[in-house]
Amino acid sequence: MSSSKSLSDKVIWLAASHDKERRQLVDALSYSGLAHRMRTYDSAEGLLGQLDASNAYPGLILLALSDGEVPGTLDILTRVKQHPVLRVVPVIVFKPADSACDTLECYRRGAASVIRQPLGFQGLVEVMRIMENYWVSVSPLPELRSS
């Protein structure tokens, strides 16, 4: 059931509009050894702009949600899941624990997982390690090719 590939072989797209949140996620990914193939976006719109422009498709998409961006995040989920190639890419949503964002709606729109924050730095590192194990050993990510 294990795979010789690792999540670090895949490109990870990360969208987070708040600098502090983006840095914390990037640091946790780096600490876990997963940041060397990452593209970061400072907004949902920035990531959306790459959906059709990119030739290097991600293996995983991470979205850091803040309350003011719920519609934008839900738009990303909808657009990714409608994209002919990217619809199979897992989207992980990080949201504040007290967020008004409807977790059920994130899943309805195609989120593979919704993770509540704040976890603290060590909690985020542990989540990244669990992600690596899950998306490599338990449920391997697909190899994407443009259609």
Instruction: Round to whole Å and give the CA distance between 5 and 13.
Output: 18
Buried b (16+ CB within 10 A) or exposed e, 75-90: ebbebbeeeebbeebb
Nearest to 120 by CA among 25, 15, 56: 25
Residue 1, in any domain of the structure = no
Query: Which segment, 76-80, 117-121, 122-126, is predicted with the most confidence on average?
Result: 122-126
Residue 69, in any domain of the structure = yes
CATH number of the domain at 13, please: 3.40.50.2300
What's the number of domains the chain is made of? Answer: 1
Listed in sequence order, the residues at least 6 apart from 130 whose beta carbon sits closer than 8 Å to its beta carbon are none
- pLDDT by residue (tens digit) across 19-72? 888 899 999 999 888 776 889 988 777 887 887 777 778 889 998 877 666 676
Residue 146, in any domain of the structure = no
Look at residue 1 and tell me whether its pLDDT is greater than 50: no
- For 97, the domain range is 7-137
Instruction: Round to whole Å and give the CA distance between 34 and 4.
Output: 15
Would you state the pLDDT for residue 146? 57
Query: Which segment, 80-89, 97-106, 135-144, is predicted with the most confidence on average?
Result: 80-89
Residue 144, in any domain of the structure = no
Residue 54 tokens read as 């990119």
Residue 19, in any domain of the structure = yes
Residue 142, in any domain of the structure = no
- pLDDT by residue (tens digit) across 105-121? 899 999 999 998 877 89
- pLDDT by residue (tens digit) across 40-49? 988 777 887 8
Residue 99, in any domain of the structure = yes
